[in-house]
Structure 1
Amino acid sequence: MVQRLLAPGEIESLDHNAIPRLLLPQARSLFPARAARLRQLAKNEIQGIPVGETLSGYLLLMAALVDAQTAAIRSLPEQTFALPDDADIALSLEHNMPPLPVSGARPPSWRSVFAALLDHLEPVAENQPQIAAVLAELRGLESAQLEGCADAVLSELTDGVNPLHAPFVAAALQVVWTMRASQLDAQRVQPLVTNTLCPVCGAHPVASVIRIGGQSQGYRYLQCSCCASEWHMVRVKCSCCEHTSKIAYQSLTPSDETTTAPEVVNKANDPSKVARAETCDDCHTYRKIFNQEHDYNVEPLADDLASLALDLLVGEAGYSRASGNPLLWFNAE
């Protein structure tokens, strides 16, 4: 058989199409893997992400919360996570809008997920009075207060939000959006006008990750803070302003290689490249990037939460965090 030679434009088109543009979450396995990673991090077992004793306790609490997310998925009926009408999804996609937007009305079923989370956390609170007090406060919230907190969480607003309540509300919303996102057809979801927001729900990414294996080998993805979908963005590009000229990398572990873009081919299992902050001198923001080439089990949200020391380092250098972590909130002060 004689094979036709491809023109340069055709080759570029094939290469582009070979990159999985959108990776939808596998919701039923994502949360157990995240909880396991949080416990590893809490035990300070991950090279490149040192965790102190103070943060360790919080990571264990968040691991219990993620366990509750898994339990809620298993205990609630499938209808809790039903997708919007197909006509509504089609209309959103037709106008290059996210099919499951975090803005606007949210499914009332999120309240069932929230209640289930609190129920599954009760055993954790039995010997921890402080956690029991927070759960009691959450159960006592009036409907308007709870919905207001959910509005603020999805809008990533810190003003007026109780930082002790927000992670639990965020966890419930994560379950709903992640379960719904997992049911979509990735081929139908269109990129947004800006590649810095999730094409599935429109939320900001929590961090980026370099994946390995299959067609994703070596490519960088941004992971959504709400629905955990991952979408492709080329490496050495600011995930906030999309500029490429002034990108640099900071890590907690010294490296023999330069931390200034462009990146070079790295040897595997280098702790200095497991967790890094990608800084941009155009917009003076940063977002962390985790590399599966150097730690197969990286989990963007968990690793971002555990690497607060890196936030402090980069913050002292004058950079602002591009977006927050839904499991850790600070008040306006």
Structure 2
Amino acid sequence: MSTTPIIQPGQIEAPSGDIPFIYISPRDNVFRDRAGRLRQLAEGHVMKDFLLFMAELTEAQHAALAVFPKAELPTEAEIKLCREHGMPPLSVQSWPRNTVWQEALKKIIVDVMRTATPATKEILLRLQALDSDALETFATAILAGEFEDVDLGAAPFVAAALQVYWTHMATTLGAQAFGANDISNLCPVCASPPVSSILRIGGAENALRYLCCSVCNTQWHMVRVKCTNCESTKGISYFAIAGSSGAVKAETCEECGTYLKIMQMDKDQYVDPIADDLATLALDLMMDETGKLRSGPNLFLISTSAMAV
């Protein structure tokens, strides 16, 4: 374990007027690039089989997004109202979710089934047996963070389909449709918590920190050296696995006792908010030993039972 000295808030941030607030990955790239990153990370990794499986699931997401059917979107008036009042227009809690996301789930199941192990096929068959109402109940529980009564083995597949649905809506509307959220540590598009944060490189985003949504893949700006959970600027520390490149660190806060991983593109330009999170579970274990709680979820890691697939 190693720690890193920190700079003071605002030392390397650009003037606020020059900062692009929202970054949305190109629609054709987000899942495809993530799948490639997972395969790269799998080489020589102790969790190689798991990461390769996640690459297959992510490729299935890419394929589902490519043929995603037309879905209802907020009207211009609704978007304008949300921008004026600092509200996410596609909130996972209030947006009237269309059952069209279930079409993405069906395609993901078919694609993953082709190479799935017997244990995974059993999980997928359980999902196929659920009716539409049961799937909606499942989705509501995942998006609300209520995992006690859900099928934990099936949860990553439902989450994958929901990510496709919200990514479809976010990329269809584009970054210009969204404004700042009144709650700065929740996604300004869908009001979900971040899975991690990332220090971007290049252009107007260079060296700026963006939080990365756990559902719709949107990234939004938050100044560095500031807790992504309670927004305190006191007691911020960084931890990394000894001997690693330092591209992925845990940013911890003594004020609220939480942490969230931060990815640094200047150390590895291919870091991905979800892929690199999955590949650095050792860092989560290290944080468990410190007593820090993770402040944002990775929906593919709702339970360690996800590793079983």
Q: Distance in 2 between matches of 1:299 and 1:331?
A: 21
Would the aligned equivalents of 2:79 and 2:178 in 1 still touch at CA under 8 Å? no
Would the aligned equivalents of 1:166 and 1:329 in 2 still touch at CA under 8 Å? yes
Deviation (angstroms), 1:199: 0.4
Code of the residue aligned with 2:19 in structure 1: it is I
Equivalence for 2:10: none
Does residue 271 of structure 2 align to residue 280 of structure 1? Answer: no
Q: Secondary structure at the match of 2:298?
A: coil
TM-score, normalization by structure 1 = 0.83
Deviation (angstroms), 1:310: 0.2
Q: Secondary structure at the match of 1:241?
A: coil
Q: Deviations over 1:124-168 (max 9, x none)?
A: 22xx21111111011012333211110111112221122111110
Would the aligned equivalents of 2:79 and 2:177 in 1 still touch at CA under 8 Å? no
Q: Distance in 1 between matches of 2:107 and 2:54?
A: 16
Code of the residue aligned with 2:98 in structure 1: it is P
Residues 197-276 of structure 1 correspond to what in structure 2 (within 5 A)? 197-254=186-243, 271-276=244-249
Q: Secondary structure at the match of 2:134?
A: helix
Deviation (angstroms), 1:186: 2.4
Q: Please, which of 104, 110, 120 is the counterpart of residue 113 of structure 1?
A: 104
TM-score, normalization by structure 2 = 0.90
Equivalence for 1:83: 73
Q: Distance in 2 between matches of 1:75 and 1:199?
A: 26
Equivalence for 2:61: 69
Code of the residue aligned with 2:171 in structure 1: it is S
Residues 94-173 of structure 1 correspond to what in structure 2 (within 5 A)? 94-104=84-94, 105-125=96-116, 128-173=117-162
Deviation (angstroms), 1:194: 1.7
Equivalence for 2:5: none
Equivalence for 1:93: 83
Code of the residue aligned with 1:65 in structure 2: it is L
Q: Deviations over 1:24-50 (max 9, x none)?
A: 232211101000111111113xxxxxx
Would the aligned equivalents of 1:25 and 1:181 in 2 still touch at CA under 8 Å? no
Would the aligned equivalents of 2:101 and 2:161 in 1 still touch at CA under 8 Å? yes
Q: Distance in 1 between matches of 2:296 and 2:113?
A: 31
Alpha carbons of structure 1 residues 85 and 166: separation in structure 2 relative to 1, 3 Å: same
Deviation (angstroms), 1:117: 1.0
Q: Which stretch shows the higher mean deviation, 86-95 or 317-326? A: 86-95
Residues 9-28 of structure 1 correspond to what in structure 2 (within 5 A)? 15-28=15-28
Code of the residue aligned with 2:143 in structure 1: it is L
Would the aligned equivalents of 1:158 and 1:331 in 2 still touch at CA under 8 Å? no
Would the aligned equivalents of 2:83 and 2:180 in 1 still touch at CA under 8 Å? no
Q: Secondary structure at the match of 1:167?
A: helix
Q: Please, which of 177, 182, 188 is the counterpart of residue 171 of structure 2?
A: 182
Deviation (angstroms), 1:185: 4.1
Deviation (angstroms), 1:312: 0.3
Q: Distance in 2 between matches of 1:314 and 1:232?
A: 25
Percent sequence identity is 42
Q: Distance in 2 between matches of 1:239 and 1:179?
A: 26
Equivalence for 1:56: 48
Please identify the structure whose Cα radius of gyration is greater. 1
Equivalence for 1:9: none
Q: Distance in 1 between matches of 2:161 and 2:124?
A: 14
Would the aligned equivalents of 1:22 and 1:230 in 2 still touch at CA under 8 Å? yes
Equivalence for 1:192: 181
Q: Which stretch shows the higher mean deviation, 220-229 or 94-103? A: 94-103
Q: Secondary structure at the match of 1:41?
A: helix
Would the aligned equivalents of 1:196 and 1:239 in 2 still touch at CA under 8 Å? yes
Q: Distance in 1 between matches of 2:174 and 2:195?
A: 23
Equivalence for 1:262: none
